[in-house]
Homo-oligomer: A and B are copies of this chain.
Amino acid sequence: MAVPYQYKYPHPAVTTDVAVFTLRNQQLQLLLIRRAQEPYMGQWALPGGFLEIDEDLDSCAKRELKEETGVADLYMEQLYTFGRPDRDPRERVISVTYYALVPTDKLTLSAGSDAAETVWFPLQELPELAFDHEEIILLARERLAAKTHYSTIAFQLMPETFTLSELQSVYEILRDEKLDKRNFRKWVLALKQLEETGGKRRNGNHRPAKIYRLTNPDRVDIVR
């Protein structure tokens, strides 16, 4: 094949990488793919890939995620741009990174063409990672925890309906601390972002819990 793309000055490659978080089994989990090509073949990495020449950065992140993992329709924010000159052994690569949240019930994984395998890992059990992806994940994790304090971002991890105890548990996992039940309920209801469905959830040998849904499921608000 001829080499059709020529430039007067050297150009770096640009990729997007996405740290996708979800909650399963009361654990915060992260979506990783096993790399099917060199470099780092066989190693685990964030889903992501090269920017096409006429697509938006956001679109690239979503497209690569879809192609590699089948995951679509999630909440995504730009995180940071990484560009250490030696972060990729092939060539100079600038990675515009994102983090994303998706409730488990919206999920259908399917290994795509680029990735040999797509697996959820609990954050406590991450394997060794390709490139500087561990650094990216740590930054995303930090940002996520911080944002629970002043935005409704955590709601993006909730299924269609849920109980207040389930919601509290999500906050506890994200912040990695126990919260007081009464204070949490007071706080979260004051946000005016939840409404009762009227239903109740029976879930063991005890009183059933009221079921709630989000009044604005697709919106993340700054609160305080």
Contacts and interface: CB of A to CB of B under 8 A. Distances in A.
A1 interface: yes
A81 B50 CA distance: 15
A11 B13 contact: yes
Given A5-B9, A13-B11, A56 B78 contact: no
Interface string A6-23: 111111111000000000
Interface in A39-86: 50-51, 53-57, 78, 80-81, 83-85
* Size category of the binding interface on chain A: 20 to 34
Contacts of A94: 14, 51, 57, 94, 96
Contact of A3 (B8, B14, B51): B8
A3 B7 contact: yes
A141 interface: no
A92 interface: yes
B1 A11 contact: no
Contacts of A6: 3, 5-7
A60 B209 CA distance: 56
Given A51-B83, A83-B57, A94-B96, A5 B1 contact: no
B85 A55 contact: yes
A80 B54 CA distance: 19
A5 B7 contact: yes
Contacts of A14: 11-12, 14, 83, 94
A93 to B, nearest CB: 10
26 contacts: A3-B6, A5-B7, A5-B10, A6-B6, A7-B7, A7-B11, A7-B13, A9-B53, A10-B53, A11-B13, A11-B14, A11-B53, A12-B51, A12-B53, A51-B83, A53-B85, A54-B92, A55-B85, A56-B83, A56-B85, A57-B83, A78-B81, A81-B96, A83-B96, A94-B94, A94-B96
